[in-house]
Each structure stands twice: as C-alpha cells, then as structure tokens.
Amino acid sequence: MLFYPQEKIGLFIDGANLYAAARALGFDIDYKRLLELFGAKGRLIRAFYYTALIDDQEYSPIRPLVDWLDYNGYTMVTKPTKEYTDAAGRRKIKGNMDIELAIDVMEMAQHLDHIVLFSGDGDFRRLVEAVQRKGVRVTVVSTIRSSPPMVADELRRQADNFVELQELSQSIMRVHHHREEAAARHTPQAYQEA
C-alpha cells in the first residue's frame, strides 16, 4: 500500500460490501485492528461505516456491531431498510447506502489527501474519478480472489491503488480464541501464577 506519513486519510466503508467480501474469503474483520492499521499509515481524519438497518425487528444481528463501531472511532451512517414486493410477489428488503457514501466522500474530499474506499461496487467509478480531479488519491479495497470477483473491473482501473482484501487479512482478521483457552486463563491457578 502506498501511503505518505503526512497524508490526511479518510476511510469510507460500504459495510454490506466489505462484509460480503470478507465472508467470501473466509474471515471476519476486527474493526479495531483495521482502524489501527490505517491510522499508522498517515493522519486518519475520519472513518465512516455505512449500513442499512431493519427498523421493525426487535433485535438486529448487526446492532451490536453498529453500537461498538459508534463508540470506537467510527462515524456511523445508517438508514432504515425499505421493504417492497417484487413482480413475482416475493417480499424483498432494500438498503442501498451508495448515495450517502458518495455525498460524504464529495464533502470530505477538500479535507483529505487520500480516500480509502472499502467497496467493489462499479457504481463508485464516477465518484472516484470526481475526487481524483480534486487532487485526492483513491485506494480501493476489495477482492478479486473470490468467485465471482467482488470488485468491478472499471472501479479497479479508475483507482490510484487497488488493495486485495485477502492480503490485508492477517492484519485485520478477527482472531477467534477457543473457549477452553479463555477458561484456562480465568482459573484460580492462572490468577495465582500471575
């Protein structure tokens, strides 16, 4: 990854897209480690995370993540999903955050030197081109190693840099500790030995 220490960096994370890419590669993201990794690359000004939330559910599986991110250095951008019925009569849920992400990138571009876009969505090609004309460098983080690839070719070509998500996996992967190891650390002997 090509970053300069004096650069002002902004992270823009398309939550659903990044989640799908990481899942396709077989790992979960540790968002604290991700923030630390890019914070060490330059001056991290802001990290935005975009996701749609299902409003009518009592419990949303994404709610704990959204709350954790909100308290731990991320700027959360959420909106309720929309429910509709398709032509075949099937209930569908839609929660696209592209417009919110694009507006924030355009508004923040004047304050940043380098934008890191965590998405492979080809719809962002024109957005990348627009901020590049403002003198901002753009790195796209996604994957071509999934089947099918999660990044659109036109987005990869437009970006100044493309970072393969799998190559970041060791730096940003959530490490799952086995319960036995955790239990062993909390036995009375472990406290006596410490």
Residue 184 sits in which domain range? 8-84+91-193
pLDDT single digits (tens) 24-77 = 999 999 999 999 999 999 999 999 999 988 776 666 778 889 999 999 999 999
Q: Is residue 1 part of a domain?
A: no
**Mean pLDDT over residues 154-164, rounded?**
97
What are the backbone dihedrals phi and psi of residue 29, each rounded to the nearest 5 degrees, phi first?
A: -95, 135
Q: How far apart are the C-alpha atoms of 176 and 161, rounded to whole Å?
A: 30
Contact 118, 29 (CB under 8 A): no
What's the domain count of the chain?
1
Question: What CATH number should be reported for the domain holding residue 28?
Answer: 3.40.50.1010
pTM, two decimal places: 0.85
Q: Is residue 2 part of a domain?
A: no
- Helix (H) or strand (E) segment spanning residue 153: helix 153-158
Measured in residues, the chain has a length of 194
Q: Which among 16, 14, 41, 67 has a CA at the least distance from the CA of 171?
A: 41
Q: Is residue 155 part of a domain?
A: yes
Find all residues with CB under 8 Å of 88, minimum gap 6, and list them.
Answer: none
End-to-end CA distance of the chain: 40
Q: Is residue 119 part of a domain?
A: yes
Q: What amino acid is encoded at 122 in this protein?
A: G
